[in-house]
Amino acid sequence: MSHAVLHIAIPSPLRRRFDYLAPARPVPAGSRVSVSFGRRPVVGIVLGGAEGSEVPREKLRPVDAVLDEAPLLPPEILELLHWASTYYHHPIGEVCAAALPVALRQGQPAQPRGLRRYRLTPAGAEASPEQLKRAPRQATLLARLQRLAMAAMAAGPDDLAELDGWPGAMKRLEEKGWVLAEETLMLPASAATDKAPPLGAAQQAAVAAVSAAFGGYAGFLLDGVTGSGKTEVYLRLIEQALAAGRQTLVLVPEIGLTPQLLERFRRRFPVPIAVLHSGLSDGERLNAWLAARAGLAPIVIGTRSAAFTPLPGLGLIVVDEEHDPSFKQQDGFRYSARDVAVVRAQKTRVPIVLGSATPALESLANAAAGRYTRLELPERAGAAVHPHMRLLDIRHQSLDGGVSEPMYRAMHHHLGQGGQVLLFLNRRGYAPVLLCHDCGWVATCRRCDAHLTYHAGQKRIRCHHCGTERPVPQQCGGCGSLDLRPVGHGTERVEEALRARFPDLGVERIDRDATRRKGSLEAKLERVHSGAARILIGTQMLAKGHHFPDVTLVGILDADQGLFSADFRAGERMAQLILQVAGRAGRAERPGEVVIQTHHPEHPLLRLLIEQGYAAFAAAALGERQQAELPPYSFLALLRAEAPAAAVPLAFLEEARGLAESVGHAGVMVLGPVPAPMERRAGRYRAQLLLQAASRAALHRLLDRWLPLLEESKAGRKVRWSLDVDPAEMF
């Protein structure tokens, strides 16, 4: 049926849809159209049609072009996007845009693009990287291609992205006759070579519980320590979904989508796997998305926004590391991909498995309330045992590079027995503060309420909040003294101390600074795996995805960061991080030890975590949340505002508070406005107003009436404001 008027979602901050005159032939909902918006042409998504509009007909403009033959987004996804727009109170146009790959957002045709793939010739398969000693790039590339060939894979740009300068090296290998390039439209499928191991009893029970739920909605929390075989459970469930001809959507945290994980999937399943993450080229992303939408990819693995991918045969959803903060988008459309996935599972009536070694407190509470079935994998798979954890009281201890003498003794012990050591410190740079010893002046950011971090390697001081940086000053900015001293420890400083203490053992630092160059992370990991490096120091980059079987000692250098933060989730995050890092270590014949430096060895939550484990910690932390009426025992929305002058955001938020009072906020506490914990950031002053409600319904009733008023507010035009429903960070 043809409508006279089309309702169109257009990326714009306005929380509404826009009406345009329909062309003669019908345009189904979910199709893209090109329309003029103001003076510019934009790509919009048709949401539906009607015979008339609230806008007088003569003011309506026509649709300029229909971009899709068939609707791009199926009704199921349109409904999900509608839900997300309503729940997060975010403009539907921006929500729709977030669901599309960039190429489609820009209006390019929904056609796959030819992609080059590279395959070894027989000569290339025989060649040895050793022959290329003087061409290290070619050697690395050849080794990579040979490894992929073992899984019968041709290499695409996504497999090679992190190898620095690979296109040039590839040309040389082609010239040698070792590589053939081919154009393909299809996603690669591998010849699977891995056999599934027989499952342990707990794994079997988990697989049985979820597969019994196929064909309808059911939520499961798969709770098992790192190495307990969660991924193996996913793989078995996916196998069953495949056998039933259904698609599986696997969501992973940004940093969890490693080549190792992909290879594990590819070695198991001889089917095309669509991979969706931000590191892909537009063409790769487009192809993967189209293959998923056409049902040609039975397995779709992706980060956050993959939650919105159309999947005609969806039969199962898996969210790995469901507690991971990267599932929550922190700007623009602030959604939680995990929560969207749960809603999608409900709407599509498929089971969803949320897996983690350290489930979010929200998810544990949901399981306790009966909303999810909790499945536990209590043991590490195979014969591996849990590492032993202990707290190390560093009060009155002297520290060398942030490391106490008892920690050094533990390191000597483990290294002496042939083990490797991993030290964790979640702070980049050399020192967080540069201080004048004569007058107390410290280097601060001109644009933020923050100290500048001293980076010794690059000889710069840098703001970790806005990116401002400058050369290290030679003189104090206050008194001119030359006696400037670094205070505190970052990973660079720890590395320096370790190199001095262990000059012969090989120390690798893994953090964003040390791995900026493409390929450097791989090279570092390689040196660790080969044993060339025996000691690792790193930030949370180390905490996920990697496994270091020869590491027998994990040292957490500073557990106190999480204990006294303005953010009520800091303790939960610290506990999760400690366990994630601890989980990197050890294997069957090498039981691990985890030593945690703290100034607060009596801290009750820290002790619970160490002595009784995450479940006991989580139960106590949930008790505190309940007492304080914090999530998951209440529901929050945070209205943030920022402007170049301090009074402006506060004035807007005051007005916002008044507007909430004028519409009535029964059941919702309005707290603030207050300046943000770090008030000035990147030259803008920030403030916030917090809404807290015992019921989700009460909160959303208020938001529904309140937001239209905020959009009308004059004070609101002088600030940048945003609403965050279920905020993950409180600043």
Say whether the peptide bond before residue 122 is cis (omega within 30 degrees of 0).
Answer: no
Regarding 224 and contact with ligand ADP (CB under 6 A), the answer is yes
Is residue 487 helix, strand or coil? strand
**Between residues 144 and 462, which has the closer beta carbon with respect to Zn ion?**
462
**Between residues 487 and 500, which has the closer beta carbon with respect to Zn ion?**
487
Question: Which of ligand ADP, Zn ion, none is residue 708 near (CB under 5 to 8 Å by kind)?
Answer: none
**Contact mark string toward ligand ADP, 181..200, x via CB under 6 A:** ----------------xxxx
Taking CB under 6 A as the binding criterion, the range among 17-25, 123-131, 223-231, 306-314 that sits at the site for ligand ADP is 223-231
**DSSP sequence for 180-212:** EEEEESSPP-----PPPPPPPHHHHHHHHHHHH
Question: Which of Zn ion, ligand ADP, none is residue 155 near (CB under 5 to 8 Å by kind)?
Answer: none
Question: Which of Zn ion, ligand ADP, none is residue 138 near (CB under 5 to 8 Å by kind)?
Answer: none
On whether the CB atoms of residues 518 and 164 are closer than 8 A, the answer is yes
Beta carbon of residue 477, minimum distance to Zn ion (angstroms, whole number): 7
**Between residues 292 and 484, which has the closer beta carbon with respect to Zn ion?**
484
Q: Indicate if the alpha-carbon torsion angle 540, 545, 551, 553 is positive or negative.
A: positive
Q: Indicate if the alpha-carbon torsion angle 517, 521, 526, 532 is positive or negative.
A: positive
Question: Which of ligand ADP, Zn ion, none is residue 75 near (CB under 5 to 8 Å by kind)?
Answer: none
- Cross-strand partners of 484: 436
* Residues from 265 through 284 that contact ligand ADP (CB under 6 A): none
**Between residues 31 and 228, which has the closer beta carbon with respect to ligand ADP?**
228
- Cross-strand partners of 686: 642
Beta carbon of residue 382, minimum distance to ligand ADP (angstroms, whole number): 5
**Between residues 184 and 468, which has the closer beta carbon with respect to Zn ion?**
468
**Between residues 145 and 436, which has the closer beta carbon with respect to Zn ion?**
436
Beta carbon of residue 579, minimum distance to ligand ADP (angstroms, whole number): 12
Regarding 580 and contact with ligand ADP (CB under 6 A), the answer is no
CB neighbours of 252 closer than 8 A, spacing ≥ 6? 261, 301, 302, 303, 320, 321
**Between residues 316 and 699, which has the closer beta carbon with respect to ligand ADP?**
316
Beta carbon of residue 264, minimum distance to ligand ADP (angstroms, whole number): 8
Show the CA angle centred on residue 491, arms to residues 486 and 497, nearest 5°.
Answer: 75
Beta carbon of residue 88, minimum distance to ligand ADP (angstroms, whole number): 30
In terms of C-beta density within 10 A (0-12 exposed, 13-18 middle, 19 or more buried), how is residue 623 classed?
exposed
**Between residues 4 and 199, which has the closer beta carbon with respect to ligand ADP?**
199
Beta carbon of residue 528, minimum distance to Zn ion (angstroms, whole number): 33
Beta carbon of residue 686, minimum distance to Zn ion (angstroms, whole number): 13
Helix pair 230-243, 259-268: axis angle to 10 deg: 40
Pick from 49, 227, 253, 272 the residue near ligand ADP by CB under 6 A: 227
On whether the CB atoms of residues 591 and 417 are closer than 8 A, the answer is no
Could you give the CA distance from residue 397 to residue 598 in angstroms, rounded to a whole number? 11
Beta carbon of residue 475, minimum distance to ligand ADP (angstroms, whole number): 52
Beta carbon of residue 238, minimum distance to ligand ADP (angstroms, whole number): 12
Could you give the CA distance from residue 663 to residue 686 in angstroms, rounded to a whole number? 25
In terms of C-beta density within 10 A (0-12 exposed, 13-18 middle, 19 or more buried), how is residue 183 classed?
exposed
- Cross-strand partners of 681: 684
Pick from 93, 124, 229, 519 the residue near ligand ADP by CB under 6 A: 229
Binding site for Zn ion (CB under 5 A): 436, 438-439, 441, 445, 447-448, 463, 465-466, 468, 476, 478-479, 481
Question: Which of ligand ADP, Zn ion, none is residue 382 near (CB under 5 to 8 Å by kind)?
Answer: ligand ADP
Question: Which of Zn ion, ligand ADP, none is residue 631 near (CB under 5 to 8 Å by kind)?
Answer: none
Could you give the CA distance from residue 526 to residue 162 in angstroms, rounded to a whole number? 14
Number of residues that bind ligand ADP (CB under 6 A): 15
Regarding 203 and contact with ligand ADP (CB under 6 A), the answer is yes
Question: Which of Zn ion, ligand ADP, none is residue 204 near (CB under 5 to 8 Å by kind)?
Answer: none
173 closest CA partner among 114, 121, 117, 115: 121
On whether the CB atoms of residues 117 and 185 are closer than 8 A, the answer is no
On whether the CB atoms of residues 240 and 214 are closer than 8 A, the answer is yes
Regarding 366 and contact with ligand ADP (CB under 6 A), the answer is no
In 198-350, DSSP assigns E strands to 218-224, 247-251, 273-276, 299-302, 314-320
**Between residues 50 and 479, which has the closer beta carbon with respect to Zn ion?**
479
Question: Which of Zn ion, ligand ADP, none is residue 481 near (CB under 5 to 8 Å by kind)?
Answer: Zn ion
**Between residues 228 and 348, which has the closer beta carbon with respect to ligand ADP?**
228
Question: Which of ligand ADP, Zn ion, none is residue 228 near (CB under 5 to 8 Å by kind)?
Answer: ligand ADP
Question: Which of ligand ADP, Zn ion, none is residue 439 near (CB under 5 to 8 Å by kind)?
Answer: Zn ion
Q: How many CB atoms lie within 10 A of CB 693?
A: 23
**Between residues 258 and 444, which has the closer beta carbon with respect to ligand ADP?**
258
Could you give the CA distance from residue 652 to residue 711 in angstroms, rounded to a whole number? 11
- Locus of tokens 């400058």: 470
Regarding 586 and contact with ligand ADP (CB under 6 A), the answer is no
Question: Which of Zn ion, ligand ADP, none is residue 709 near (CB under 5 to 8 Å by kind)?
Answer: none
**Between residues 31 and 203, which has the closer beta carbon with respect to ligand ADP?**
203
CA 86 to chain centre: 23
Regarding 124 and contact with ligand ADP (CB under 6 A), the answer is no
Regarding 49 and contact with ligand ADP (CB under 6 A), the answer is no
Could you give the CA distance from residue 166 to residue 75 in angstroms, rounded to a whole number? 42
**Between residues 397 and 468, which has the closer beta carbon with respect to Zn ion?**
468
Measured CA to CA in angstroms, residue 563 lies from 570, 601, 648, 726 at distances of 7, 11, 33, 22
Question: Which of ligand ADP, Zn ion, none is residue 479 near (CB under 5 to 8 Å by kind)?
Answer: Zn ion
**Between residues 222 and 431, which has the closer beta carbon with respect to ligand ADP?**
222
Regarding 622 and contact with ligand ADP (CB under 6 A), the answer is no
On whether the CB atoms of residues 678 and 640 are closer than 8 A, the answer is no
* Residues from 379 through 398 that contact ligand ADP (CB under 6 A): 381-382
Could you give the CA distance from residue 191 to residue 269 in angstroms, rounded to a whole number? 8
Length of the chain in terms of residues written:
731
Query: Does an H or E element contain 720, and which?
Result: strand 720-725
Beta carbon of residue 503, minimum distance to Zn ion (angstroms, whole number): 35
**Between residues 416 and 471, which has the closer beta carbon with respect to Zn ion?**
471
Beta carbon of residue 534, minimum distance to ligand ADP (angstroms, whole number): 23
539 closest CA partner among 513, 520, 568: 513
Regarding 231 and contact with ligand ADP (CB under 6 A), the answer is yes
221 closest CA partner among 356, 415, 73, 120: 356
Q: In this structure, are strands 551-556 and 593-598 parallel, antiparallel, or unpaired? A: parallel
**Between residues 387 and 571, which has the closer beta carbon with respect to ligand ADP?**
387
Question: Which of ligand ADP, Zn ion, none is residue 44 near (CB under 5 to 8 Å by kind)?
Answer: none
In 608-705, DSSP assigns E strands to 635-643, 668-681, 684-693
Sheet with 460-462, strands from edge to edge, namely 453-455, 460-462, 469-471
Regarding 592 and contact with ligand ADP (CB under 6 A), the answer is no
For 421-435, the three-class secondary structure string (H helix, E strand, C coil) is EEEECCCCCCECEEE
CA atoms within 13 A on the CB side of 141: 29
CA 48 to chain centre: 33
**Between residues 199 and 433, which has the closer beta carbon with respect to ligand ADP?**
199
Beta carbon of residue 522, minimum distance to Zn ion (angstroms, whole number): 31
Beta carbon of residue 676, minimum distance to Zn ion (angstroms, whole number): 14
**Which residues contribute to the site for ligand ADP (CB under 6 A)?**
197-200, 203, 224, 226-232, 381-382
